[in-house]
């Protein structure tokens, strides 16, 4: 057995904020759930779900490598409420509406993409069709496998399981 001596060396690691935000306890709940933890985060998500999901996923995405032709999407979860036009009137969704939207949800934000995704081969021709990180995409609810990382519900899909790109996730229900 060797004893190592000498000056202490700083080993870089996550900052306290990152440690507090990424939690295995949050990941233990594997079913779809809201990606926000509190009212402040809910407002941030409602204002810009793409920016919110990308920021939250960037806490863990640098630690993973997506292989082959897999596409990783962060599932779009409808906000608690929408404002009706410029009236300031808020339309709140019931828990039942949220539950139904979770099971019917078929839109996700592309947060990861394997190096072989959307490349033509002898069996499949994409004819230039492609998606990029940050695109909203639609897929069938029975496609892909689901998983959750730090409250962000995700799906892994093959490139051929992507149905279309959408500008606004609220267009698809």
Query: Cβ distance 44 to 52 under 8 Å?
Result: yes
pLDDT in tens, 90-115: 888 887 777 776 666 689 999 999 99
pLDDT in tens, 4-30: 444 443 444 454 444 445 555 454 555
Beta bridge partner(s), residue 145: 156
Res 110: pLDDT: 97
CA terminus-to-terminus distance, the chain: 62
Q: Tell me the pTM.
A: 0.79
CA 114/CA 151 separation, integer angstroms: 23
CA 58/CA 13 separation, integer angstroms: 15
Query: Cβ distance 108 to 137 under 8 Å?
Result: yes
pLDDT in tens, 133-149: 999 999 988 888 888 88
Name, in order, each residue with C-beta under 8 angstroms of 149's C-beta and a sequence gap of 6 or more.
Answer: 27, 57, 60
Tell me which of 125 and 82 has the higher pLDDT: 125
Tell me which of 103 and 157 has the higher pLDDT: 157
Count of Cβ atoms closer than 10 Å to residue 9 Cβ: 5
Domains of the chain: 19-171 (2.30.33.40)
Res 105: pLDDT: 67
Res 34: pLDDT: 81
């Amino acid at each position: 057995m060797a004893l190592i001596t000498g000056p202490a060396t700083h080993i870089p690691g996550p900052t306290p904020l990152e440690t507090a935000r990424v939690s295995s306890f949050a990941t233990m709940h594997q079913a779809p759930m809201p990606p926000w933890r509190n009212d402040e985060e809910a407002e941030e998500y409602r204002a810009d779900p793409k920016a919110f999901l990308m920021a939250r996923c960037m806490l863990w995405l640098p630690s993973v490598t997506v292989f082959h032709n897999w596409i990783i999407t962060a599932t779009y979860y409808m906000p608690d409420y929408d404002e009706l036009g410029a009236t300031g009137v808020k339309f709140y969704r019931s828990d039942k509406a949220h539950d139904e939207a979770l099971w019917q949800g078929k839109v996700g934000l592309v947060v990861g993409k394997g190096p072989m995704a959307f490349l033509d081969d002898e069996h499949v021709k994409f004819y230039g069709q492609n998606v990029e990180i940050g695109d909203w995409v639609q897929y069938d609810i029975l496609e892909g496998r689901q998983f959750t990382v730090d409250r962000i519900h995700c799906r892994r899909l093959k490139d051929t399981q992507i149905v279309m790109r959408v500008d606004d996730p609220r267009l698809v229900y």
